[in-house]
Structure 1
Amino acid sequence: MRTYLWVGLLVSLLVSLSQSQLALAQDRLLDASLAGQPSVSLTGYFASLEDASTALTLDEVRSPAIAPRFETSAPSAAAINHGLTRSAYWLRLTLSNPTDQPLARMLQIDYPILSSVRFFSPLADGGYRLVDTGNAQPFDTRGYANRGFVFPLALPPHAEQTYYLRVQSLTPLIVPATLWEPTAFHHHERNDYLAQSWYFGMATAMILFNLLLFIALRDSIYLLYVTFAVSTVLAFSAEYGMAKEFLWPETTFWADISSGVFLSLAVANGLLFMRRMLDTTRNLPKLDRLFKALIALFFLAPLGFFFSLRALIPPTIALIGLTMLLVLATSLYCAVVKRQRSAIFFALAFSMLLLGAAVLVMRGLGLLPTNLLTAYGVEYGSALEMLLLALALADRFNTLRREKAAAQQHLVEHLQSHERVLEARVLQRTEELKAANERLETLSVTDALTGIANRRRFDEVLASEWSRAARAGHPLAVALLDIDWFKRYNDHYGHPAGDECLRRVAAVLRDQVCRTGDLVARYGGEEFAFIAPASNGEDALAIARRICLALENLALSHQPSEFGCVSCSIGVAALTPAEGRSPDQLVKAADEALYRAKEQGRNRAVLAEA
């Protein structure tokens, strides 16, 4: 009898284990090599389990009793979306590495306002390592610094690994998860932060610009725009995780409710701005009383978020939607019936924001999938809205200015026109003088015939490079070049041909001495020079020989020359500045080397003796 009992227990255990393995086998296995793709959505590869008690542990969900309850379904959207729920959800993911090399991958959850995200990755000893993070945790609990949730993975070769995620949130429970190849992820991350920087940078510029207008004009409408834009930007920075990363990384509960708080304040400030812009007190007095009540309600709503955020989210979202529709209808009425130009901009602006907000709301309620448009649509709408509202303010300002200008006397307008003409002439004259001074400065250091630096510029650069070489302990090289038998060339071909010869030689020097920092100059008459910083004698000698060869290849006819073509002799010298040495000694050494080059038969480069 006891034997049958043990056999029964063994059979039960085997059945339970087989059920657990069957549950894992039913999971869609993902090849982590990604088959050359940069990323893949994980929505269809997760097996999920609802934890209504929010009390299940990892060991319990892995147990044979609970593991088979995980459900796998074909993805109908780009993200798992359970909307507003008090339940926690466990997600199971199995990855395989069929390659011979270990694989590094990045698992990204691009929904920064999830309150709690617990990620369990397998260890070599069979245990699991926990990363316990989330929007309600300090930012430094994240294993990877990112506005969303990113978990680096390491898969051994020829292995399968199972990972677990536990997610729970006060806000809508949306899990847009993606598996990335690291290089592709870093590229995506850079572009993501670039897009966020573009939006917040543009918004900041609009805020500062209108704040300056308020300070300059003392018109409160610009301050109302600023408060509306600031609260909107803070709402989006909280919604998209930028505030958690950069503004309040250590907060917990505040991070969960901050997006709702600032969104409510943004609506209230937007209504204040609209009342002033459309002058509803005078144009729509009855409706204006409703707007006042809504403003008070939205200013008070954040207090309720501190006590019951989850309960207040649906009615708040519904009220925000109705309010925006009312604002749109009001602005359209003022534009069509009251013929207010600013109302046209206002209607267009709130249409953009309303469209983006509607997409966000329907995504939060699970009615739309999560993708690039639904994830960032409200930011796109907000950016367009801010620009259009700024245009509305500009149009309002221009309208007031035109009305004021029409009321001014004709004489004042004439004087202002005369003043503008005078200012334009002064500005034009100033620009002409500036351009003339720049030309004179350029001419003062440029040889007029050859277009290269002149002797004055050579001396200035030599002095500065000598000081630089002395500080760095580097050598400095100088070369002096003389065209062989140039006087005979002038006498034979004439001075115009001699001038052209000088220009051709200068062009050769420019082509051959071309490093950044090098200088080519006309030293005087038929003499040229170049300065080669941080070059020793051999380096400078090589440059000089290239010049001789290039000039020889130019084949510029010179019948009085022994070589039949224009050639040159070059003396090269290099020194490392030290106490007791001077730039003049360097030039003198180059000059002596030039003399030796001529003595040795010309058409050559000679390096000064050390």
Structure 2
Amino acid sequence: MSPILRLFAILSLSLIPALAFTDAGSLKTGCPTLEATDSGARDSLMQYICFYNAPPGEPAHNASRPEQLPEDLAWTPAHGRDLVFSATKSVYWVHLHIRNSGAERSLWYLKLNYPLLHEITLWQTGNGTTESIVTGDQHAFSSRGIDYRYFLLPVTLDAGETRSITLRVHSSGALNVPLSLETPAEVIAGSNHLTLTHGLFYGALLVFAVFNLLLFFSSGTAYYFYNAFYMAALGLFLFAMGGFANQYFWPNNASFANTSIPLSLSLCALSMTLFGRSFLEVAKGTISETALKTLAWFCIGFLALTLILPYTKTILLNTVLALTVISSLFIIAAVRWKQGYQPAMWYLLAWLVMLVGGLIYALAAFGYLTDFLAREALMQFAVGGQVILLNYAMVQRWRLLNQKLLEVEHNARTELEFKVHERTAQLRNTMRELEKANRQLSTLSMNDALTGLHNRRHLDNIFPELCAEARRTGHTLTLALVDADHFKAINDTWGHSFGDTCLQFIAEMLTRHVKRPRDIAIRFGGEEFALLLPGTDPAGARIVCEALLADVANTPLISPDGTEVRITLSAGIASLRTGEDQNRLFERADEALYAAKNEGRNRALLSEVTEART
């Protein structure tokens, strides 16, 4: 073979991989192909996205399928920027190529983290087939295919397979297209985190609303009712904006799902106005009272218009209304504070926080700021701060009212006694609620959140008491310190999530083996546990520990990658001696534990045995 032919053959062979990894979609758009198995590439998803803005009148605006797009369409690379656009009538086409260079078939989810998009169509093409999903908040919630408040597209790729994904997005309001490509584990972890965050937020909001409602029923004070009304309306608005209302309240009523957002927003504005007028004690006939009355009637009018006008107009009008109400209340509170009304200071701070958070949230919702999820979290933080400040302002207002009652004692003693009785009843109800909350908080502070066992604080409280009791009665008190072997390797290999699963498994085993009513199992460190065994001698404690160690060692766990994992424990045991304090008892148990570690782990050693060896 001639040198020229040899060179041609080598060049031909070197082009085979490139030909294998090229697809028609990539050539049309010029977008790079994302390697799905590369977590770094997935984190930089927007570097692989191309999009096209199709205003009304263009062929791409009227196209309903990717094959109807012009072949010479000028796709725009995202270059890492989020796709966020203010109110527009354009149709946006988004394109992405994904390849699985792994050795096995795998699943990923393309997640669109914004629930308020009217029309979304997703196509994925590969292996000669095309699959499509037509969804959006103008369709029934079941059209998404997956019961999730955001939009999820499952992408399953065979080994070596490349797929093209195309999105057609249209919305009559702002258009946010925050995309991410995640593994099922990442989707679940993110969902769990958000579920906890939203659960705490909406749960706290509901508790405060119910608490104020109970205060209203017990005291008859109007601003408690208006505050409960405000928090309920605000919670409903954020619930709808977050996509939860569409998911849980009216999944089959797409029209009302959109209407509920401006509707709840106008209810928020009305409740804010009523609460501000009642709480700030605006005098009749003043400019402030006239302004608040006018705003209240505007809120009622906008509430009616919401049921008539289209969503695009009502959401804008009601947003302007809500921001106007917040600004007006801020100004009126400043005037009342200047007039010497002290609770207005905390009310003023509350609305300052709300004004900043609401303005940023509105800018994100209307497409003027990126990262809607971060703005949503900021809004929740602002609402939380406002609720705390408002309730503190009500406490200050209550204190002010109490002082006024004391000042008129000399002029109307009979009337004063009646009012003091009324306010005292309110205080007692509040104190009972606070005492109940403190008891619940105390219980939570003594338990480990992950495992449910008692924590180090409980150990510090109960250990001296048990030692004192043992010295007084002469009964035996045995302490066993238990530690998981090579636990760092588990975290390093399979991650902290699986490590937490292992800790929960160990806690379950401890609970199973520590059965007597007075025996106590405690988690006092990362993978460190303690057993307090009153009335148990060292031999009995060793039997308990050896049974525990055998049970744990013989029970396998399945790691995230399917590997069978067996955990072993080491234990050190010591009993309280005459004249010994709890610190020395703990040290001897710890020395026995380290001796068990040094002798090969997966064993329980008595302190007396280790001391005899030394």
TM-score range, shorter chain: 0.5 to 0.7
What is residue 342 of structure 1 aligned with on the other side? 343
Q: Distance in 2 between matches of 1:504 and 1:48?
A: 73
What is residue 90 of structure 1 aligned with on the other side? 93
Which of 104, 107, 131 lines up with 1:104 in the alignment?
Answer: 107
What is residue 355 of structure 2 aligned with on the other side? 354
What is residue 209 of structure 2 aligned with on the other side? 207
Q: 1:107 to 1:22 in 2, by over 3 A?
A: closer
Check if 1:278 corresponds to 2:275.
no
Alignment of 1:12-51 (within 5 A): 24-35=28-39, 39-42=43-46, 45-50=49-54
Q: 1:304 to 1:128 in 2, by over 3 A?
A: farther
Match of 2:98, SS state, is strand
**1:223 CA drift (Å):** 0.5
Q: Is the 8 A contact 1:30 1:45 kept in 2?
A: no
Q: Is the 8 A contact 1:34 1:40 kept in 2?
A: no
Q: Is the 8 A contact 2:34 2:45 kept in 1?
A: no
Root-mean-square deviation over aligned CA pairs: 3.8
**1:41 CA drift (Å):** 4.2
* 1:283-310 Cα distance to aligned partner (Å, 9 max, x none): x712322222222122221333333221
Match of 2:76, SS state, is coil
Q: Distance in 2 between matches of 1:52 and 1:102?
A: 41
Number of residue-to-residue matches in the alignment: 423
Which of 128, 144, 147 lines up with 1:145 in the alignment?
Answer: 147
Check if 1:450 corresponds to 2:479.
no
Letter in structure 1 aligned against 2:67: R
Letter in structure 1 aligned against 2:31: D
Q: 1:40 to 1:246 in 2, by over 3 A?
A: farther
What is residue 115 of structure 1 aligned with on the other side? 118
Q: Distance in 2 between matches of 1:52 and 1:23?
A: 26
Q: Distance in 2 between matches of 1:23 and 1:402?
A: 78
Alignment of 1:404-483 (within 5 A): 404-405=405-406, 407-408=408-409, 448-451=473-476
What is residue 192 of structure 2 aligned with on the other side? 190
Check if 1:174 corresponds to 2:176.
yes
Check if 1:129 corresponds to 2:154.
no
Letter in structure 2 aligned against 1:202: A
* 1:292-349 Cα distance to aligned partner (Å, 9 max, x none): 22221222213333332213333433343333222212212222x2122221111111
**1:245 CA drift (Å):** 1.7
* 1:214-268 Cα distance to aligned partner (Å, 9 max, x none): 0110111100111111111000000001112222222211111211110111011
Check if 1:242 corresponds to 2:244.
yes
**Structure 1 residues 150-159 or 503-512, which shifts more?**
503-512
Letter in structure 2 aligned against 1:237: F
**1:280 CA drift (Å):** 2.2
Match of 1:151, SS state, is strand
Q: Distance in 1 between matches of 2:277 and 2:102?
A: 65
* 1:94-148 Cα distance to aligned partner (Å, 9 max, x none): 1122222223211111111112222222254x23222222222222222222121
Which of 534, 538, 545 lines up with 1:508 in the alignment?
Answer: 538
Which of 331, 352, 376 lines up with 2:333 in the alignment?
Answer: 331
Identity across the alignment (%): 18
Q: Is the 8 A contact 1:144 1:152 kept in 2?
A: no
Q: 1:452 to 1:353 in 2, by over 3 A?
A: closer
Structure 1 unaligned segments of length 5 or more: list them: 1-17, 421-446, 454-502, 519-549, 551-610
Q: 1:347 to 1:68 in 2, by over 3 A?
A: farther
Alignment of 1:58-77 (within 5 A): 58-59=64-65, 61-63=66-68, 66-75=70-79, 77=81
Q: Is the 8 A contact 2:122 2:168 kept in 1?
A: yes
Letter in structure 1 aligned against 2:119: S
Check if 1:321 corresponds to 2:320.
no
What is residue 398 of structure 1 aligned with on the other side? 399
**1:88 CA drift (Å):** 2.8
Check if 1:297 corresponds to 2:322.
no
Q: Is the 8 A contact 1:109 1:175 kept in 2?
A: yes
Q: Distance in 2 between matches of 1:19 and 1:38?
A: 20
Q: Is the 8 A contact 2:125 2:163 kept in 1?
A: yes
TM-score by length of 2: 0.62
**Structure 1 residues 254-263 or 400-409, which shifts more?**
400-409
**Structure 1 residues 144-153 or 223-232, which shifts more?**
144-153
**Structure 1 residues 218-227 or 315-324, which shifts more?**
315-324
**1:204 CA drift (Å):** 0.4
Letter in structure 1 aligned against 2:348: A
Q: Distance in 1 between matches of 2:158 and 2:263?
A: 45
Q: Is the 8 A contact 2:50 2:95 kept in 1?
A: yes
Letter in structure 1 aligned against 2:542: Q
Between Structure 1 and Structure 2, whose CA radius of gyration is higher? 1
* 1:527-577 Cα distance to aligned partner (Å, 9 max, x none): xxxxxxxxxxxxxxxxxxxxxxx9xxxxxxxxxxxxxxxxxxxxxxxxxxx
Letter in structure 1 aligned against 2:136: G
Q: Distance in 1 between matches of 2:211 and 2:535?
A: 56
Letter in structure 1 aligned against 2:390: L
Q: Distance in 2 between matches of 1:50 and 1:43?
A: 21
Q: Distance in 1 between matches of 2:97 and 2:539?
A: 68
Q: Is the 8 A contact 1:109 1:176 kept in 2?
A: yes
**1:49 CA drift (Å):** 4.0
Q: Is the 8 A contact 1:117 1:133 kept in 2?
A: yes
Q: 1:348 to 1:253 in 2, by over 3 A?
A: same
Which of 213, 217, 220 lines up with 2:219 in the alignment?
Answer: 217
Q: 1:215 to 1:363 in 2, by over 3 A?
A: same
Q: Is the 8 A contact 2:85 2:176 kept in 1?
A: yes
* 1:462-503 Cα distance to aligned partner (Å, 9 max, x none): xxxxxxxxxxxxxxxxxxxxxxxxxxxxxxxxxxxxxxxxx9
Letter in structure 2 aligned against 1:82: F
Alignment of 1:517-556 (within 5 A): none
**1:206 CA drift (Å):** 0.4
Q: Distance in 2 between matches of 1:166 and 1:183?
A: 27
Match of 1:145, SS state, is coil
Match of 2:167, SS state, is strand
Q: Is the 8 A contact 1:138 1:250 kept in 2?
A: yes
Q: 1:22 to 1:116 in 2, by over 3 A?
A: closer
